[in-house]
Structure 1
């Protein structure tokens, strides 16, 4: 896919640009439906359509996290498809992002990208991946390490798997239970996603209540 009007650029792949060039694309009218990422002078614009599977998995993971935090009395704020920007350095627009606990600097309530230099980065970030799974596990993981996110989950929609990482000391390691939501097993999140293929939201919620 190629975008026109502004200088032509391939989408759904990483393209070398300067920060100022990135801003031109990100703020251009032709890109309103795109999701933008910038890291180490490379930009990625994702223009792939979002289908039922992506939307369904996104919603189920959101329910698991929110319900767990509610029942465990953990302070949490959820954001969907929100842009986070460290000016001159990086930008991302994850499927889901969560601020967890009250020990964070919350962003101003406006429609501008969240400035990480002024606010805390999100505590937990989730990407729903199909064609982009290798990128989500690779370059985007480096981006989130740099941004200061504490935990990163990749939902591999092709294999119904969730790969979770704790980010610490500028690096990341694979985890099987959440470190920012103590007591939440990644296998539980995966089971909820698997149940969503045959069960409605009410059934999934009742199952979650029974184990939480």
Structure 2
């Protein structure tokens, strides 16, 4: 008489899933995030988990693409910097954000790439495209970036039609205003110029034209030459 093989029962994972509002250590946050490859964006801010809602095209996808194009052109012309897109950043024991964009100085900068391919430490510049997340980006996250010495923090408030550029000065963020030409020029990355009005109106060609002016400036050339000599 043949006996039927017993069914193989696969035990359920004992690792709880990430959920909005969870209070976790950074180590536990990473364990759960790694176990959920279907989740594309989750952040730990002041020990609390925030998970992104589905992203809309005009309120996030397109503005994000403009920022990456602008910063990508800068990186392509500037030795010694590295651009990240939605890369997880290990800041401290309670904070592991995943900013929309970040720009790092690679030689002698504040951050480094870990052996397991995460950013550790504060990138010199971080950009957040804030639509539904504006309350987080301009409050708790701003405080975290300030405390961890992110030198320049940029927030595009899409629904408000506003762009905030904060510079760390004596431990506090001051908001930079456009100059007489309507441009904001980075004080950390020489030659990184932004025409705010062109960006907000969707004129990417003008944004890149202005950036090209920055890339041919004396300050940018000196920055590149200084890095090349190291």
User: TM bucket by the smaller chain?
Assistant: 0.7 to 0.9
CA distance in 1, matches of 2:69, 2:32: 33
Superimposed CA distance per residue, residues 137-178 of structure 1 (whole angstroms, 9 cap, x where no aligned partner)? 000101111222110011111122111111234331211233
Residue matched to 1:160: 161
Residue matched to 1:126: 127
For this pair of structures, how many residues does the alignment match?
A: 194
Contact 1:84–1:115 (8 Å) recurs in 2: yes
Task: Please show how residues 38-53 of structure 1 align to structure 2 within 5 Å.
Answer: 38-39=45-46, 41-46=47-52, 48-53=53-58
Cα distance change of structure 1 residues 101 and 33 upon mapping to structure 2, 3 Å threshold: closer
Cα distance change of structure 1 residues 134 and 209 upon mapping to structure 2, 3 Å threshold: closer
Q: Normalising by structure 1, what TM-score?
A: 0.73
Residue matched to 1:194: 201
Contact 2:44–2:96 (8 Å) recurs in 1: yes
128-137 or 85-94: bigger deviation: 85-94
Q: Secondary structure at the match of 1:26?
A: helix
2:90 matched to 1:61? no
CA distance in 2, matches of 1:49, 1:80: 17
Instruction: Specify which of 28, 33, 37 is matched with residue 26 of structure 1.
Output: 33
**How many angstroms does 1:98 deviate by?**
0.3
**How many angstroms does 1:7 deviate by?**
4.3
Cα distance change of structure 1 residues 211 and 147 upon mapping to structure 2, 3 Å threshold: same
2:176 matched to 1:175? yes
Q: Secondary structure at the match of 2:156?
A: strand
Residue matched to 2:99: 94
CA distance in 1, matches of 2:106, 2:30: 32
Q: Secondary structure at the match of 2:109?
A: coil
Residue matched to 2:23: 16
Q: Which runs of 5+ in 2 are unaligned?
A: 1-13, 178-183, 215-230
Q: Tell me which structure has the larger Cα radius of gyration.
A: 2
Q: Secondary structure at the match of 2:135?
A: helix
CA distance in 2, matches of 1:209, 1:19: 37
Higher strand fraction (1 or 2): 1
Q: Secondary structure at the match of 1:91?
A: coil
Contact 1:6–1:25 (8 Å) recurs in 2: yes
Cα distance change of structure 1 residues 31 and 21 upon mapping to structure 2, 3 Å threshold: farther
Instruction: Specify which of 118, 124, 128 is matched with residue 113 of structure 1.
Output: 118
Superimposed CA distance per residue, residues 121-146 of structure 1 (whole angstroms, 9 cap, x where no aligned partner)? 21110000111111100001011112
CA distance in 2, matches of 1:68, 1:18: 35
Residue matched to 1:36: 43
Superimposed CA distance per residue, residues 21-75 of structure 1 (whole angstroms, 9 cap, x where no aligned partner)? 4233322226532222232x223222x122222121112123333445666x574
